[in-house]
């Protein structure tokens, strides 16, 4: 297997490029799996779990049985959907933590290389700069152990989010040295390309000067270009009638957004206050959010909320997630960031606390995700009196991550629990000791297992 990484600035078109390549590969008969990393890193190995979930849910049973004949029970820990489709997989007692993790990784590698023997296999992983360390370790293991298979991983990442000491850089440097990785840098469109894009979008050539003006401002960043064009048409400055594009007012009269942030601000300012309120609340839930949690948060009539979200969807601010009823995502991470950063920090903390309380009441299918969500929201609310809940939930999330061999994630959860414990008025010394022990154990396993199966890691 090999990995091709597409890097570039936010909004330059990395995800879209990956999606188009995936579509083309699928059209050519390749099997395509897709997963993305989340800013909250809800579950360890999230992109793999997402990708494999889909496969596990749709593959014929006997095929699945033979693909997971070895190590199926380890795989089922990472991908709970497997246990649901193949009930009765033995629940093995934990053995040596290093070997357990190795076996779990092997079970993923075996499944994927099995798939890649039948047809070309493309695994798309979006937003790798947000990947947790267990995900990167699994990726590395996968590529090393399937050197001869035809698996191709296509990953995207935001260059600006990845410094030299970022964990993704460590992984990519190693993989590059081993000849398993190739990098592509995606830049904004050139002026000529932008002219072509505008013509394709408007069905006619751009009026003189427009392409240059947009290019100067956006440097060909596609997200920015899209917001800019929307602004021009929304304000009526650019008309698309009679098969031609015409500027009805000079650009300096219309005003030109100076940054992506400003463009998003203009876009959002066209929505009415109620819709904006709902969107701000949704931004607290994350890039992706579910309507029922949002409804409870807004404490409003479902209908009204639904209308607000429908309006936002019609305006291209949010999108319904394919294949999941009542699940939405902001059309772009930058939109979510803008909304989220407009909320003052005391209110933010209060909202996170509310969300935590709501999720506590809701049954969800996957206990792992729920634990991590609770840990996330309560730790954001720890400074305003939710420290005890934060400690409890971070600790549980840590324990859960340990059972998934995600030792680095577990260590982080324990560390967050310890931080929150500092904020508890009368901190419990026993609790602190236990958390420190947990952290020690997670770190211990981490060091041991990164030595195992790795040829060139010196830390």
Ligand X SMILES: Nc1ncnc2c1ncn2[C@@H]1O[C@H](COP(=O)(O)OP(=O)(O)OP(=O)(O)O)[C@@H](O)[C@H]1O
Residues forming contacts to ligand X in the complex (CB under 6 A) are 8, 10-16, 158, 197, 222-223, 226, 332-334
Nearest Cα to Cα of residue 67 among 32, 27, 118, 28? 118
Nearest approach, Cβ of residue 241 and ligand X (Å): 22
Nearest approach, Cβ of residue 125 and ligand X (Å): 12
* Nearest residue (CB) to ligand X, 222 versus 410: 222
Among the listed ranges 7-15, 266-274, 309-317, 373-381, the one in contact with Mg ion (CB under 5 A) is: 7-15
Nearest approach, Cβ of residue 18 and ligand X (Å): 8
Nearest approach, Cβ of residue 334 and ligand X (Å): 6
Query: Quick one: what does residue 44 bind among Mg ion, ligand X, none, with the CB cut-off 5 to 8 Å set by partner type?
Result: none
CA distance 442 to 397: 13
Nearest approach, Cβ of residue 14 and ligand X (Å): 3
Quickly count: other Cβ atoms within 10 Å of residue 91's Cβ: 9
Q: CA-based angle 393:398:401, to the nearest 5?
A: 125
* Nearest residue (CB) to ligand X, 9 versus 100: 9
Whether the CB-CB separation of 77 and 138 falls below 8 Å is answered with no
Nearest approach, Cβ of residue 117 and Mg ion (Å): 31
Nearest approach, Cβ of residue 227 and ligand X (Å): 9
* Nearest residue (CB) to Mg ion, 19 versus 30: 19
* Nearest residue (CB) to ligand X, 223 versus 228: 223
Among the listed ranges 13-21, 159-167, 191-199, 369-377, the one in contact with Mg ion (CB under 5 A) is: 13-21
* Nearest residue (CB) to Mg ion, 130 versus 197: 130
User: Which two three-digit tokens encode residue 258?
Assistant: 């100076």
Q: In what order do the strands lie in the sheet with 327-330?
A: 288-290, 327-330, 318-320
* Nearest residue (CB) to ligand X, 36 versus 396: 36
Whether the CB-CB separation of 168 and 136 falls below 8 Å is answered with yes
In 404-428, alpha helices (H): 407-423
CA distance 418 to 424: 10
* Nearest residue (CB) to Mg ion, 15 versus 98: 15
* Nearest residue (CB) to ligand X, 223 versus 289: 223
Query: Quick one: what does residue 129 bind among ligand X, Mg ion, none, with the CB cut-off 5 to 8 Å set by partner type?
Result: none
Query: Quick one: what does residue 226 bind among Mg ion, ligand X, none, with the CB cut-off 5 to 8 Å set by partner type?
Result: ligand X
Between 15 and 54, how does the x/- string for binding to Mg ion read (CB under 5 A)?
x---------------------------------------
DSSP type of residue 317: S
Query: Quick one: what does residue 16 bind among Mg ion, ligand X, none, with the CB cut-off 5 to 8 Å set by partner type?
Result: ligand X
Largest CA distance in the chain: 75
* Nearest residue (CB) to ligand X, 158 versus 413: 158
Binders of Mg ion: how many residues, by CB under 5 A? Answer: 1
Query: Quick one: what does residue 291 bind among ligand X, Mg ion, none, with the CB cut-off 5 to 8 Å set by partner type?
Result: none
Among the listed ranges 10-18, 257-265, 281-289, 297-305, the one in contact with Mg ion (CB under 5 A) is: 10-18
User: Which two three-digit tokens encode residue 249?
Assistant: 């007012």
Nearest approach, Cβ of residue 12 and ligand X (Å): 4
User: Which two three-digit tokens encode residue 86?
Assistant: 């193949």
Nearest approach, Cβ of residue 332 and ligand X (Å): 6
CA distance 52 to 35: 8
Contacts 24+ apart (CB under 8 A), 413-420: 413/375, 414/438, 414/439, 414/442, 415/439, 416/375, 416/379, 416/390, 417/390, 417/391, 419/379, 419/382, 420/378, 420/379, 420/382, 420/387, 420/390, 420/391, 420/394
Query: Quick one: what does residue 11 bind among Mg ion, ligand X, none, with the CB cut-off 5 to 8 Å set by partner type?
Result: ligand X
* Nearest residue (CB) to ligand X, 39 versus 178: 39
Nearest approach, Cβ of residue 19 and ligand X (Å): 7
CA distance 348 to 364: 24
CA distance 45 to 52: 11
Whether the CB-CB separation of 178 and 139 falls below 8 Å is answered with no
Binding site for Mg ion (CB under 5 A): 15
């Amino acid at each position: 297997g090999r990995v091709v990484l597409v890097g570039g600035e936010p909004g330059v078109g990395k995800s879209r490029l990956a999606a188009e390549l995936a579509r083309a590969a699928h059209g050519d008969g390749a099997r395509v799996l897709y997963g993305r990393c989340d800013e909250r890193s809800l579950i360890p190995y999230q992109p793999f779990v997402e990708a494999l979930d889909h496969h596990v849910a749709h593959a014929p049973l006997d095929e699945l049985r033979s693909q997971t004949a070895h190590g199926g029970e380890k795989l089922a820990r990472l991908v709970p959907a497997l246990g649901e489709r193949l009930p009765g997989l033995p629940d093995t007692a934990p053995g040596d933590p290093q070997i357990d993790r190795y076996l779990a990784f092997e079970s993923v590698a075996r499944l994927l290389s099995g798939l890649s023997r039948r047809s070309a296999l493309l695994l798309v992983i979006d937003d790798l700069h947000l990947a947790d360390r267990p995900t990167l370790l699994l990726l590395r293991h996968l590529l090393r152990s399937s050197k001869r298979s035809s698996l191709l991983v296509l990953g995207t990442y935001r260059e600006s989010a990845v410094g030299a000491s970022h964990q993704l850089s460590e992984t990519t440097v190693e993989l590059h040295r081993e000849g398993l990785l190739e990098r592509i840098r995606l830049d904004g469109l050139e002026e000529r390309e932008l002219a072509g894009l505008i013509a394709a979008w408007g069905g006619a050539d751009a009026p003189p000067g427009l392409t240059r003006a947009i290019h100067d401002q956006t440097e060909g960043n596609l997200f920015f270009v899209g917001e800019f064009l929307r602004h021009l048409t929304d304000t009526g400055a650019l008309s698309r009638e009679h098969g031609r594009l015409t500027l009805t007012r000079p650009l300096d009269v219309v005003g030109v957004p100076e940054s992506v942030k400003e463009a998003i601000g203009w876009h959002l300012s066209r929505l009415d206050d109620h819709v904006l309120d709902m969107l701000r609340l949704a931004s607290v839930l994350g890039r992706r959010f579910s309507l029922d949690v949002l409804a409870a948060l807004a404490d409003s009539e479902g209908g009204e909320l639904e209308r607000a979200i429908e309006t936002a969807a019609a305006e291209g601010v949010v999108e319904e997630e394919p294949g999941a009823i009542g699940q939405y995502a902001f059309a772009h991470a930058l939109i979510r960031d803008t909304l989220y950063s407009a909320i003052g920090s005391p209110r933010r903390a209060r909202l996170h606390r509310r969300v935590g309380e709501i999720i506590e009441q809701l049954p969800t299918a996957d206990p792992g995700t729920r634990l991590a969500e609770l840990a996330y929201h309560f730790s954001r609310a720890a400074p305003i009196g939710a420290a005890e809940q934060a400690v409890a939930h971070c600790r549980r999330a840590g324990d859960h991550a340990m059972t998934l061999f995600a030792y680095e994630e577990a260590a982080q959860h324990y560390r967050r629990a310890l931080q929150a414990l500092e904020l508890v008025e009368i901190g419990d010394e026993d609790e602190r000791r236990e958390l420190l022990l947990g952290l020690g154990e997670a770190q211990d396993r981490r060091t041991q297992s990164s030595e195992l199966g790795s040829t060139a890691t010196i830390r």
